Amino acid sequence: MRRLVQFPLENGESIVVEVDEVETQGGVVRATRPGEIAVKATETFESALETIKPAAGTIIAKLRSLLEPPDKIDVEFGIKLSADAKAYIASAGVEANYKVTLTWNAVNSSKV
């Protein structure tokens, strides 16, 4: 089930995000009309994104520390937000959660 969550921004504005809600057996189900905000997050959007910074930073640092580091590193990954104001790296399938592209220039002037 999907619902809209309003996240405050650090500048005082807000952003509305559609999130997947984990469906549980039994219990209370929050009912909303289509397009209606179900929940206002208690943390800012920026602080929710802080939770994925360590993973992204680790990937970049490790790739930069290769014996012959690439000239360009592109890392793609999906982010899922939850109503409890957390961000998660989204699963892209069984194989991988990240798409990494490394580029080396054919001619590197420092090695000539």
**pLDDT tens digits, one per residue of 91-108:** 655 455 788 899 999 765
Residue-level pLDDT at 30: 53
pLDDT band at 21 (very low <50, low <70, confident <90, very high): low
Percent of the chain with pLDDT over 90: 24
Instruction: Find out whether 14 and 42 touch, Cβ atoms under 8 Å.
Output: no
- Look-up: residue for tokens 């309003």? 6
| Residue 109 confidence (pLDDT) above 70 | no
Q: Which token pair is 25?
A: 């057996």
| Residue 111 confidence (pLDDT) above 60 | no
Rounded Cα distance between 62 and 112, Å, is 26
Q: Any idea where the domains of the chain sit in the sequence?
A: 2-111
Instruction: Find out whether 102 and 75 touch, Cβ atoms under 8 Å.
Output: no
The torsion of the CA quartet 94, 78, 55, 6, rounded to 10 degrees, works out to: -130
- Look-up: residue for tokens 């089930």? 1
How would you classify the pairing of strands 37-40 and 2-8?
A: parallel
